Amino acid sequence: MQQQPWYKQVWVWLIMVPPLAAVLGGIATIVIAASGADHVIRDDYVKVGLELREDASRLEAARQLGLSANVHLLRNDGRVIVTLRGQPAADVGLLLRLVHPTDANRDQEVTLTLDGNVYRGLLPQPVAGRWLLQLEPVDHSWRLAGELAADASAVALGVES
């Protein structure tokens, strides 16, 4: 009786397949983890010990200044009109950040300029669907936040939104 080579033995493959599958699964896991990394959270958080807590100091600054805003988003031509109520610390430019709830690659930031008594800006890309809005001055001293519904073209931003 002639003995077969080792690679034709069934028992060799039954012993080698599980470790090879584990190595291939580990490589696949590393590739998936590296290509699907989570995006940075676009909000105010501070680290206290080992815990992350939301920092409400900029919202509180807006509350103390008595600020609120109406944001009108003309989705068809990409114009943004913001009416700011209250007394900001100084007449500085405003930043409007549109944060997509699920895809950080679609986030947009618009610099708004004062035109009379309203702020105006132009969106770099058209927006559709639901968005989280953050309005703040260029010096980041305060912030107003709110949510724009999928079918809405206007939203009131305030500290309670």
Taking 80 as the threshold, does the pLDDT of residue 135 lie above it?
Answer: yes
Tell me: pLDDT of 88 over 70. Answer: no
Average pLDDT in the 53-77 region? 82
pLDDT exceeds 60 at position 160: no
Return the half-sphere exposure (C-beta side, CA atoms, 13 A cut-off) of residue 22. Answer: 5
Mean pLDDT of 94-120: 87
Cα–Cα distances in angstroms (integers) from residue 102 to residues 48, 75, 106, 161, in the given order: 27, 19, 9, 20
Tokens 């501070």 sit on residue: 46
Determine contact, residues 82/74, Cβ cutoff 8 Å.
no
pTM > 0.75: yes or no = no
The dihedral formed by the CA atoms of 122, 124, 126 and 132, expressed in degrees to the nearest 10 = -80
Quote the CA–CA distance of 148 and 126 in Å, as a whole number: 14
- What pLDDT band is residue 20 in, cutting at 50, 70 and 90? very high
For residues 97 and 139, the answer to whether their CB atoms sit within 8 Å is no
Selected residue with higher pLDDT from 1 and 57: 57
CATH number 2.60.40 given to 56-157: yes
pLDDT reading at 79 higher than 80: yes
Q: Where are the domains of the chain?
A: 6-35, 56-157
Confidence at residue 161, expressed as pLDDT on a 0 to 100 scale: 44
